[in-house]
Amino acid sequence: MNTLKKLKEFYWPFRSYFFWSLFALLFVTAITLVYPMVLKVTIDEVVMQEKYNLIPYIGAIFIGLMIIKGFATYFHQYLGDLFGIRSVYSLRDELYKKLQRLAFKYYDNAKTGDLMSRLTADVEAFRFFLSVGFSELIRIVLLILLSLSIMFYYSVPLAIVTMIAMPFLALVVYKFDRQVHPAFRRIRKSFGKLNTRVQENISGMNTVKSLSRENFEIGRFLNRSDHYRQRYIETSNLWSKFFPLMEFIGNICVVALLAYGGYLVINGSLTLGELVAFFSLVWYILGPLMNLGFVVNLFSQSKASGERLLEILEAKEDVQEKEGAIVKDRLNGHVTFEDVTLTYTEDDDSALKQISFDAPPGKTIGLIGATGSGKTSITQLITRFYEPEQGNVRIDGKPVQDYGLKTLRKNIGFVLQESFLFSTSIKENISYGNPDATLEDVIAAAKRAQAHEFILDMPEGYDTLLGERGMGLSGGQKQRIAIARAILIDPAILVLDDATSAVDMETEFSIQKALQEVMKGRTTFIIAHRISSLKHADEILVLEDGLVKERGVHDELLVNGGPYQRIYDIQYQDKEKIMNTSHIS
């Protein structure tokens, strides 16, 4: 119940649907309990005493009750479904909002397939319990209590004899619940891993096919699928073990009823109609008690699902906006790092170690170094994708924590190494960060990013719909659209994270030429492996293992004999040797 309490804020606002559904359920249950009484009257009054003139009246009452029960059942089910659907709508919205607020640190360890499983299968399991499980539990309790009351009214001794086995049945249900909940928890985890396997395979299909690893991927999927199957078999085994036992205990109750009830009828202590009514009422108790296993099953599934949903809702938001944060339309873009240290996880080495530099507005900072040296980490601290362990990151003299997140990130344009495009039109992709931009603005940004010409060659120009993740475009075309998207928000700070890595040398030259104009008046960070992409920077930071090993301009660093010169030699002198060898041959 602790899980339900924690999720109360999502379903309690819609409690009116639930209570009206319960009100309708009271009618359904009350009319259901009239059936045994109608049987008693029919047998004792009509059949035994031959009062056949009562048949039309009993028939009319029975039909009337059926009509009322039909309407009550409709409202009970409809309002119950509304309760679950409205609650889950609110819950799913909050889950999605939470995922938008969580920092990169959360996604470093999260699996896409598992998150999708939580937002679909787990949410649906919780909805089903709200729509059906709650009311079914109450229906069972009402049926049992009211049936017992009627049974004790007819015959106290027979009611006691019939109920002797009931505590044993309740104990079996309790044991079943204790074992089935962990089983469903394992099923949910296994399903999340299976989803992750499918999602990763589809996302990486080009790699799979290019390396002929289809059979390997089939094997990995079958392993996950088999694990999921085994978890379900475990749960099925529990059902197979407990439910025959429940039925056996229930049948003991029926045997006791028929034996002792028959004896009472023969002795005249009980009428035949009361015995028949008793028999019906017993099944109104045994049926719900055995159905309690189904409710326990629903409860266990919803509890397991609720726990997985709470893991998202209660996840720590490492990056939060402080109260009274600065809100501005435009920042100057003066970036300062003061002895900044960043560690992603406690067990890992620091990604950045006491990094300090100053980047006034309009200055271009080049970042170069081996993979994992800390280049991207610097830019991710500017946008507060992560928080520094030590030191301060400032913009315009104020710590980045003082700014509202929207203010901060609206003033920083990112072009990432792997450009992500949405399955929508080219125009909407470019204007994603500035949805109010006109078509003229979009075209101007595309021209500056050297993307206008190839866009016009597309079937519908700027209205051309792209496939998933920009399917149908080359890597260079995707990056140029991403550059146009960054240009369009008119950022004070521009981050180019290996932005020209997927284009040829000629296109790179054209883009860099266009970007020279775009970078005027903006603080620009260029992350690159090619020296040609950043040799015109006002200051170049050479990083190695999270430390700044060298800093300076291109010409200065070439004569220092340090890491920068070694990178230059690898990229240019080796290239010249290859060209000379090719020319001689």
pLDDT per residue as tens digits for the range 355-381: 999 999 989 999 998 888 888 889 889
Tens digit of each residue's pLDDT (9 = 90 or more) over 251-301: 777 788 788 888 888 888 888 888 888 888 888 887 777 677 667 777 777
Tens digit of each residue's pLDDT (9 = 90 or more) over 113-152: 778 878 888 888 888 888 888 888 888 888 888 888 888 8
**Alpha carbon distance 158, 341 (integer Å):** 79
Extract the tokens encoding 117. Answer: 């499983």
What is the model's pLDDT at position 119? 84
Domains of the chain: 2-313 (1.20.1560.10), 325-411+493-503+519-553 (3.40.50.300), 420-490 (3.40.50.300)
What is the model's pLDDT at position 585? 41
Contacts of 424 (CB under 8 A, 6+ apart): 465, 466
How many CA atoms lie within 13 Å of 30's alpha carbon, on the beta-carbon side?
Answer: 9
What is the model's pLDDT at position 74? 92
pLDDT confidence bin for 307, thresholds 50/70/90? confident
pLDDT above 60 (res 99): yes
What is the model's pLDDT at position 583? 44
What is the model's pLDDT at position 580? 46
Extract the tokens encoding 518. Answer: 């775009």
What is the model's pLDDT at position 198? 76
3-state DSSP assignment of residue 23: helix
Neighbours of 454 (CB within 10 A): 16
3-state DSSP assignment of residue 537: coil
* Residue 199: φ, ψ to 5°: -60, -45
pLDDT above 90 (res 395): yes
Nearest Cα to Cα of residue 497 among 428, 578, 564, 416: 416
**Alpha carbon distance 11, 25 (integer Å):** 19
3-state DSSP helix/strand/coil % of the chain, to nearest 5: 65, 10, 25
Above pLDDT 90, what percent of the chain? 10
Tens digit of each residue's pLDDT (9 = 90 or more) over 50-77: 777 777 887 888 888 889 888 998 999 8
What is the model's pLDDT at position 523? 92
Residue 570 near residue 530, CB atoms below 8 Å: no
Any idea what DSSP says for residue 318? S
What is the model's pLDDT at position 577? 47
3-state DSSP assignment of residue 184: helix
pLDDT above 60 (res 581): no
Nearest Cα to Cα of residue 478 among 497, 459, 495, 503: 503
Q: Residue ranges of the alpha helices (H) in 204-271?
A: 205-210, 214-267
pLDDT, the chain, mean: 82
What is the model's pLDDT at position 34? 84
Residue 130 near residue 88, CB atoms below 8 Å: yes
pLDDT confidence bin for 578, thresholds 50/70/90? very low
Residue carrying structure tokens 């109260």 = 323
Can you give the pTM of this predicted structure?
Answer: 0.70
pLDDT confidence bin for 435, thresholds 50/70/90? confident
Residue carrying structure tokens 């089910």 = 77
* Mean pLDDT on 539-559: 89
pLDDT above 90 (res 106): no
Tens digit of each residue's pLDDT (9 = 90 or more) over 160-188: 887 777 777 778 777 776 777 677 778 87
Extract the tokens encoding 549. Answer: 């090993």
Extract the tokens encoding 49. Answer: 């005493």
Above pLDDT 70, what percent of the chain? 90
CB pairs under 8 A, 24+ apart, for 453-459?
A: 454/480, 455/426, 455/481, 458/426
Tens digit of each residue's pLDDT (9 = 90 or more) over 484-524: 888 888 889 988 887 666 566 676 666 666 667 677 778 99
pLDDT confidence bin for 450, thresholds 50/70/90? confident
Which whole-number Å values give the CA distances from 1 to 4, 186, 335, 493, in the listed order? 5, 19, 50, 50
How many CA atoms lie within 13 Å of 557's alpha carbon, on the beta-carbon side?
Answer: 28
Largest separation between any pair of C-alpha atoms in the chain? 122
Extract the tokens encoding 225. Answer: 């699928």
What is the model's pLDDT at position 212? 67
Contacts of 372 (CB under 8 A, 6+ apart): none
